[in-house]
Structures are given as structure tokens and as C-alpha cells.
Structure 1
Amino acid sequence: MNNDKRERGIARYHEVYNNQLPDPPAEGEDRFFDYMLGSLFGDLWSNETLSIRDRRLLLLGAITAQGEEMTFAIQAESAYRRGEMSIAELEEAVLFLTQYVGYPRASKLRLTLLGMIGKWKKELSAE
């Protein structure tokens, strides 16, 4: 992978996750991560056909369908911290997706979201 593509991928990775995730490993240390930085973040997330918020909504739907609580939490946290989605919008997204992925799967993600909302509200009241 060329260095420009990797640098673009790293910049978009930090932007998408609002600098909340650890720095990626150095080039060549983790081939999986190198590929992800180049193709996923350097190409797909960097393409301006869809906004980051649009991509995030698609991703939240896919993650909800798979019942991926940890990945859902990372995406919801990033969407909230970046100002892409409000608490009400995240709650509405889970409610809407429940009708398509089923109550058992979405209920776990709703509980994850409620825990995050409690944390965010504490942060706001502490300010």
C-alpha cells in the first residue's frame, strides 16, 4: 500500500472514531490492520459519495442485525461524540431497527445504549 493511502486511512480512522480508539499499529506490524486502513478507511470511509453519518447509519443497521453489542457501542459512542446523532436519534434508530432484526437481538443493544446514555448524561451534568 502506498504511504499516502495509509496516511489518509489513519486520518479518516481518527476522524470516524473521534480519536476515541487507540492509534493503529505501525505499518507492517499488523497486516490485517494495514489492509483495513487502506481499503476501509483510506478508500471507503474517505469516499465522499456518502457522508460519515450516512455510512455510520448503514453500519449501525448491519451491526444491529448481527447483534454485535461491542461494535454497536463503539459506533454509537462515535456518532454521539462527533455530533452525528443525538440521544433521541440513537434511541429512534434502535426502536426502528427492532422491527427488522427482532426484539431479542435489539433488546441487548438497547440496554447497551441505555447504559451509554446514562454515562453521557452524567458527563453533561458534571460540566
Structure 2
Amino acid sequence: MTERRRAGLAVMSEVYGWEMSDGPGDFFAHTADQVFGEVWSREGLTHRDRRLLLLGALAATGMTDVAEIQAGAALGNGELTPEELDEIGLFLCYYVGWPLGTKMTMMFGEVIKQHRRARK
């Protein structure tokens, strides 16, 4: 395993909050090496900043399934609070449209419930 792959896997583990192991194929290689080893590792933005931008992009494209993973990781890592996720949902309603923002808000509510249950 290359140093670049190790660095990418370490950042993936930080971002998602669970231990990532190496995976097969070119797609995983590009994800680990480029997306996490290079893009998420750059200076200038925190993981929280990048997560907020990603949540906005996912909301704009209606990708609530991927956003659910990001929201859960943000809560688990302490990057966002349940109250902040609620506020993000409302904010997104105005910028991505009420239907897409509502889908995100409803999904955030479910993620918050799961997070609170797991903490008990």
C-alpha cells in the first residue's frame, strides 16, 4: 500500500468516523487517493466546511441517500449538532427549493433520531 493510499484511508476514517480499509478496483483507488488523499486533505477548509458544502451540493441534486451518510457522520464526529442540522434543512428549503429542502429536512430528522438513540 502506498503512502498516498494510507493518507487517503486515514482521512476517510476521520471524515466518516469509522475505520476504513483498502478496497478493490480503480474507483476505490481514485476515491481514497484523490478525493480523500488530496481534496479533503487540502488546507484552507476544515472537514466541517467541506461537509457543509457537500450537504448543499447533495441537496441541490436531490441526493438525500448520500446526504444521509454525510449528516450521520457530521453528528457522530461532532461537526454539527442536531439543532444546526435542523437549521441547515430550513435554510436549504429557500435555496434549493421547498420540495428538495423538505426531503433533506425530513431525512435530517431521521438521522437525528438515530443519533440520539445511539447515544443513550
TM bucket (normalised to shorter chain) is over 0.9
Q: Distance in 1 between matches of 2:117 and 2:33?
A: 37
Q: Deviation of residue 48 (structure 1)?
A: 2.1
Map 1:1-127 onto structure 2 (within 5 A).
3-19=2-18, 23-25=21-23, 29-124=24-119, 126=120
**Paired residues of 2:72 and 2:115 also in contact (CA < 8 A):** no
**Could you tell me which amino acid in structure 2 is paired with residue 93 of structure 1?**
I
**Residues 12-58 of structure 1 deviation map (CA, whole Å, 9 limit, x = unaligned):** 001100017x6341xxx310110111111000111121110010010
Aligned length: 120
TM-score, normalised by the number of residues in structure 2: 0.92
Separation of aligned partners in 1, 2:113 and 2:44: 34
Structure 2 residue runs of 5 or longer lacking an equivalent are: none
After the TM superposition, which parts of structure 1 deviate over 6 Å for at least 4 consecutive aligned residues? none
Shift, 1:121, TM fit: 2.5
Amino acid at match of 2:11: R
Distance 1:111 1:104 in 2: 11
Q: Alpha carbon RMSD of aligned pairs, Å? A: 1.6
Q: Percent identity?
A: 37
Unpaired runs of 5+ residues, structure 1, are none
Computing the radius of gyration from Cα coordinates, the structure with the larger value is 1
